[in-house]
């Protein structure tokens, strides 16, 4: 076949989106499906940031569609000057990178990371209906599969309202599943309401009986956000330090409060986009926070003349803070394009924090003393942790390779194919060692339930033998010293029994990875094995079933036949061949990849599940039990 000009294919209109949907929405799984809703909601939030909208309604319809309405200005319906015969609304819905965000005066600031917006939603829908209220009229237009216009936009009557309504039905030929999960959407919508003070976001799910309705509106904005995140922790004091600053460069909005815990939770945003990799605004905040607290401490004699300043990490222990900036042309960098690169925002945030936080500390001396007391204790613990770390390193050096003695390592040195199974208990560890492929699969048995790191400082953590073994086996350090490129295995797989105790062990391990090796989770190296809970024998055919839901389906499909059902008591009671076939064989096993979609939500989930607040934990489990198949951390 000749390779000439005829072999070059040019995708037109919205075809590239349907050809490579992952490039535009990340995936065709649940996260990509929900991303469609966020793209439409982002447009409505832009109207709110422009001061033009005060309310957004999101409705999940019984037929699988999603409707998003706002009371903003309404998408323009007049003809676009560059597209003859097409309205501006049709251009926005059918042309990639079209909208009011690229130059011009449509929006001074806007959300939405890539600017592809609603045209991508249209491309990946089986149907989309547009309704616009503006200029005294109601306008409608309809689109079929793949974003193809079925008619011209037309006025169908008068209207005293204003705003845009978009209703869309995700295309089942594109997505792995098209059923929206209410809880996933509610978490994101609540975050949007926190970030946009006073904006009312109303959610309604028409699918269940009774209908689910929830409204978010936070007059306190980021102050309410911080209180919400700290509700599952124990705040050090009741007050939230909050301040704003506006200049020609942009806007800064910051709120913070300390808790009695040991982890910092700084969550930053730029134009409502979660900047999970941080950036210039976060840098400016951290630098000014350290400076302002130390300056106050010197002035009040809380830090003696001969003593060193407190380090930033000491001051930030137990801090929950939201740093939100809004600017005209955000520059996003980093591996996932969620790191803010605008240097001018570093200066603006630093200046605002230095001045405003300095004033707040002066005005609230009891709280300032509590901050100092906690930071001083953290500094002592940091020195103790350093000694424990050094001791661990020296011990490793004396032992030779620095690997724990109970690790059964794999022979391959190609990290991309190597897997580490973390197995609880000696008998399960023994079965796993016999079952594994020793070339690519390593086994690390751990004894009992590891330390709950949510309730322990670093110095205590490093004295724990099981945690020492984990750190040594993974081989990439810990906390701020963690270097993901030094990890010895591509997959870290938690292998625990399919019962309540096994679930607890998994949660303890996942909390450790999220808190102390966050890059490991964020870059997709952590997995949970899915051992079966039951085996069913029909005739001579044995079937393994993951859980009780799978058992119910199996029984329904084999009604009238004689099933011998056996509940598997634990990994250690499977023979090695059974363990290999059901759980460890790369060709037939099922692994659940652990992901962190939004850091603030993941932080909250860790605190709820592993913190001291029993009521919050019970409420979370009751609310999410039915959606456990979606469970991410």
Give catalytic residue positions: 424, 497, 499, 501
Q: What is the pLDDT of residue 601?
A: 62
And the tokens for 267? 């969550």
Q: What is the pLDDT of residue 104?
A: 47
Q: What is the value of pTM for the model shown?
A: 0.72
Per-residue confidence band for 5, with pLDDT thresholds at 50, 70 and 90: very low
**Rounded Cα distance, 348 and 244, in Å:** 11
**Rounded Cα distance, 175 and 178, in Å:** 6
Judge contact between 230 and 257, C-beta under 8 A: yes
Per-residue confidence band for 554, with pLDDT thresholds at 50, 70 and 90: confident
Q: What single-letter DSSP state applies at residue 481?
A: G
Mean pLDDT over each residue of the chain, to the nearest integer: 84
Return the residue matching tokens 């913070």. 256
Q: What is the pLDDT of residue 629?
A: 41
Label the pairing between strands 491-495 and 526-529: parallel
How many CB atoms are closer than 10 A to CB 224?
A: 19
CA dist list (Å): 188 to 108, 147, 192, 203, 349: 23, 26, 6, 11, 25
**Rounded Cα distance, 410 and 439, in Å:** 5
Q: What single-letter DSSP state applies at residue 67?
A: E
Percent of all residues in the chain with a pLDDT value above 90, rounded to a whole number: 46
Q: What is the pLDDT of residue 563?
A: 75
The pLDDT of residue 400 is above 60: no
Q: What is the pLDDT of residue 238?
A: 94
Judge contact between 294 and 379, C-beta under 8 A: no
And the tokens for 305? 């003349």
Q: What is the pLDDT of residue 11?
A: 46
- Least Cα distance to 357 among 265, 449, 437, 252 occurs for 252
Residue scoring higher pLDDT (335 or 486): 486
And the tokens for 319? 């801090």
The pLDDT of residue 25 is above 60: yes
What value does the mean pLDDT take over residues 376-400?
Answer: 66
Angle CA(349)–CA(355)–CA(361) in degrees, nearest 5?
A: 115
The pLDDT of residue 281 is above 60: yes
**Rounded Cα distance, 368 and 336, in Å:** 37
Per-residue confidence band for 518, with pLDDT thresholds at 50, 70 and 90: confident
Summarize pLDDT for 33-62 with one digit per residue, the tens. Answer: 999 999 999 999 999 988 899 999 999 999
What value does the mean pLDDT take over residues 511-537?
Answer: 86
Summarize pLDDT for 415-461 with one digit per residue, the tens. Answer: 999 999 999 877 788 889 999 999 999 999 988 777 776 777 777 88
Residue scoring higher pLDDT (393 or 278): 278
| Across 73-82, 118-127, 415-424, 541-550, least confident range | 541-550
| Across 115-124, 147-156, 450-459, least confident range | 450-459
Judge contact between 65 and 167, C-beta under 8 A: yes
**Rounded Cα distance, 94 and 117, in Å:** 10
**Rounded Cα distance, 264 and 261, in Å:** 8
**Rounded Cα distance, 413 and 439, in Å:** 9
| Across 181-195, 282-296, 394-408, least confident range | 394-408
Summarize pLDDT for 232-279 with one digit per residue, the tens. Answer: 888 999 999 999 999 988 999 999 999 998 889 999 999 998 898 899
Q: What is the pLDDT of residue 633?
A: 33
Q: In 369-379, which positions are buried (b, 16+ CB within 10 angstroms) versus exposed (e)?
A: eebbebbbebb
Angle CA(126)–CA(131)–CA(135) in degrees, nearest 5?
A: 155
**Cβ contacts of 183 within 8 Å, gap of 6 or more:** 623, 624, 627, 630
Beta bridge partners of 125: 170
CA 450 to chain centre: 25
The pLDDT of residue 213 is above 50: yes
Summarize pLDDT for 332-384 with one digit per residue, the tens. Answer: 887 667 899 999 999 999 999 999 999 999 999 999 999 999 999 888 888 87
**Rounded Cα distance, 59 and 372, in Å:** 47
**Rounded Cα distance, 428 and 494, in Å:** 12
- Least Cα distance to 58 among 148, 256, 193 occurs for 193
DSSP string over 187-237: HHHHHHHHHSTT-EEEEEE-SSSSPEEEEE--TTTHHHHHHHHHTTS-BSS
- Least Cα distance to 375 among 320, 321, 319 occurs for 319
Angle CA(362)–CA(367)–CA(370) in degrees, nearest 5?
A: 125
Summarize pLDDT for 584-618 with one digit per residue, the tens. Answer: 999 888 888 887 765 566 666 666 666 666 566 55
| Across 308-322, 460-474, 543-557, 614-628, least confident range | 614-628
The pLDDT of residue 552 is above 80: yes
141-147: Cβ within 8 A, 24+ apart: 141/87, 141/89, 141/90, 141/93, 143/93, 145/171, 146/14, 146/18, 146/171, 147/13, 147/14, 147/93, 147/94, 147/119, 147/122, 147/123
Q: What is the pLDDT of residue 214?
A: 96
């Amino acid at each position: 076949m000749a390779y000439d000009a005829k072999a070059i294919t040019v995708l037109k209109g919205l075809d590239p989106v349907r050809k490579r949907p992952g490039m535009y929405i990340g995936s065709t799984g649940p996260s990509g499906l929900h991303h469609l809703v966020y793209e439409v909601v982002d447009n409505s939030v832009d109207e709110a940031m422009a001061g033009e909208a005060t309310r957004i309604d999101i409705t999940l319809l019984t037929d699988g569609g999603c409707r998003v309405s706002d009371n903003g200005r309404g998408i323009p319906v007049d003809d676009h000057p560059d597209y003859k015969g097409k309205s501006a609304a049709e251009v926005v819905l059918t042309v990639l990178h079209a909208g009011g965000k690229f130059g011009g005066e449509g929006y001074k600031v806007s959300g939405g990371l890539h600017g592809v917006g609603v045209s991508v939603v249209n491309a990946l829908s089986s149907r989309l209906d547009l309704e616009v209220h503006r200029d005294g009229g109601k306008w409608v237009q309809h689109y079929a599969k793949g974003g193809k216009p079925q008619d011209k936009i037309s006025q169908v009557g008068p209207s005293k309202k204003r705003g845009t309504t978009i209703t869309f039905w995700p295309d089942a030929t594109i997505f792995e599943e098209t059923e929206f999960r209410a809880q996933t959407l509610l978490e994101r919508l609540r975050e949007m309401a926190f970030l946009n003070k006073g904006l009312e976001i109303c959610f309604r799910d028409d699918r269940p009986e009774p209908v689910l309705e929830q409204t978010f509106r936070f007059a306190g904005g980021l102050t309410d956000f911080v209180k919400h995140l700290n509700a599952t922790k124990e705040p050090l004091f009741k007050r939230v330090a909050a301040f704003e600053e506006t200049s020609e460069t942009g806007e800064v909005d910051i709120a913070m409060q300390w808790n009695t815990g040991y982890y910092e939770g700084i969550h930053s945003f730029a134009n409502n986009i979660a900047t999970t990799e941080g950036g210039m605004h976060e840098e400016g905040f951290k630098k000014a926070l350290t400076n302002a607290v130390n300056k106050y401490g010197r002035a009040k004699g809380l830090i003696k003349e001969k003593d060193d300043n407190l380090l930033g990490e000491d001051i930030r222990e137990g801090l929950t803070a939201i740093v939100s900036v809004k600017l005209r042309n955000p520059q996003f960098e980093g591996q996932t394009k969620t790191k803010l690169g605008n240097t001018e925002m570093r200066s603006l945030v630093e200046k605002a924090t230095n001045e405003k936080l300095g004033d707040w500390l002066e005005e609230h001396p009891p709280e300032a003393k509590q901050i100092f007391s906690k930071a001083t204790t953290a500094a002592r613990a940091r020195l103790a942790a350093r000694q424990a770390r050094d001791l661990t390193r020296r011990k490793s050096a004396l032992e030779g390779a620095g690997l724990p003695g109970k690790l059964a390592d794999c022979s391959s040195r190609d990290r991309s194919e190597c897997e580490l199974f973390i197995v609880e208990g000696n008998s399960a560890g023994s079965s796993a060692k016999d079952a594994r492929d020793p070339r690519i699969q390593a086994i690390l048995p751990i004894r009992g339930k590891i330390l709950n790191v949510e309730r322990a400082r670093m110095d205590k953590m490093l004295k724990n033998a099981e945690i020492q073994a984990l750190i040594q086996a993974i081989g990439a350090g810990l906390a701020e010293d963690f270097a993901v490129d030094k990890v010895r295995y591509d997959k870290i797989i938690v292998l625990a029994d399919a019962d309540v105790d096994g679930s607890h062990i998994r949660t303890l391990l996942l909390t450790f990875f999220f808190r102390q090796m966050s890059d490991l989770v964020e870059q997709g190296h952590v997995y949970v094995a899915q051992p079966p809970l039951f085996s069913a024998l029909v005739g001579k055919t044995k079937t393994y079933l993951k859980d009780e839901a799978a058992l119910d389906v199996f029984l329904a499909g084999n009604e009238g036949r004689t099933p011998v059902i056996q509940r598997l008591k634990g990994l250690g009671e499977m023979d090695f061949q059974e363990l290999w076939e059901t759980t460890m064989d790369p060709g037939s096993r099922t692994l659940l990849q652990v992901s962190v979609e939004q850091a603030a939500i993941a932080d909250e989930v860790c605190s709820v599940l592993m913190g001291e607040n029993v009521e919050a934990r019970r409420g979370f489990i009751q609310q999410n039990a039915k959606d456990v198949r979606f469970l991410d951390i």
